[in-house]
Amino acid sequence: MVGVARRYRNPSMHLPRLAAFALFAAATSLSAAELVPDPPKNCSQCAEWNQPQAPFRLFGNSWYVGTTGLSAVLIASPDGLILLDGGVAESAPLIAANIEKLGFRLDQIKLIAVSHAHYDHVGGVAALARASGAEVLASERSAQALQAGTAPADDPQAGFGAKANSFPKVATVRSVADGESVRLGKLAITAHYTPGHTPGATSWTWQACDETAATESAPACLDLVYADSLNAVSDDTFRFSGNAGKPGIADLFRHSIDLVAQLPCDILIPVHPGFAEIDARLARRAAGAQPDPFIDRSSCQRYAQAAREKLDARLAREKAGKTP
């Protein structure tokens, strides 16, 4: 991020401030709502993705509250909480428990922002929205899919079928425009359309500040990126280069990849944490590594480059007439 020099400290050193903030929030908000989970998805990878992960602070007002294989992020402000994604249906109770472990309550969640409308990222959104009363935010295309409860016909994975792609419907969704900043008090998160993996894919950015690490001349603020999937994966019939009268989306996908690479990015949280080695970074942080292993300004560029190489390899297979 361009600007004055900044001084960083390991955010795990400031847990007393976290506790104080959580107590303030709990004392000034409504009673917690009861979460009633939707039926489990029981997909082939769901059990592996959905292993519990203890919540941890990313930086400032931002915490990881997802599972070992499916990211979810909580952003706090005095005006309430913003939650990013909800994992599979089975993830909702785990995410809710993680939020409560941090000292917050579900009814403090005011907004739930969605990356893309696949069951492994939005399966728990309906239950979390019911429990919290939060407004759900998504791109226009993702909003349509959320209300339909399945991936749209032009999704690269649509060929797996409506049942395989299904997830609990979300009745009311607020569409957010590309580049729009959504505010909750002084907290703002910005939507960046990054279509390719799905038609409505969206990455989210915001700035987190740690006042305890700040000076007048060096504010300790970081740019966080919740990056949507840039994975060129599909069913056996879809072609990113186009086929059967359907236009290709390779150029659109490349634009999304380039956009993510160019975002101001101090900390990257991809929708699948393994793509940024979140577990390894957490282990190094726990061992006392300095500087903080999560602060990595080249992480978005590397994430994008890996996606670019995978897309190029996929397009080469398509050109050779090979099954994806």
Express each pLDDT in 90-108 by its tens digit: 999 999 999 999 999 999 9
pLDDT of amino acid 219: 53
Of 118, 121, 196, 124, nearest to 150 (Cα)?
Answer: 118
Q: Which CATH superfamily is domain 11-319 in?
A: Ribonuclease Z/Hydroxyacylglutathione hydrolase-like (3.60.15.10)
CB-based contact 136:146 (threshold 8 Å):
yes
pLDDT category, 6, cuts 50, 70, 90? Answer: very low
Helices 299-319 & 250-262, crossing angle to 10 degrees?
Answer: 170
pLDDT category, 213, cuts 50, 70, 90? Answer: low
pTM of the model: 0.89
**Mean pLDDT, all residues of the chain:** 90
Phi (first) and psi of residue 251, to 5 degrees: -65, -40
Whether the predicted pLDDT of 7 surpasses 50? no
Whether the predicted pLDDT of 32 surpasses 50? no
Of 189, 202, 191, nearest to 229 (Cα)?
Answer: 202
pLDDT category, 239, cuts 50, 70, 90? Answer: very high
Q: What integer is the mean pLDDT of 12-34?
A: 44
Q: Indicate the burial class of 98 (C-beta count within 10 angstroms; 0-12, 13-18, 19 or more).
A: buried
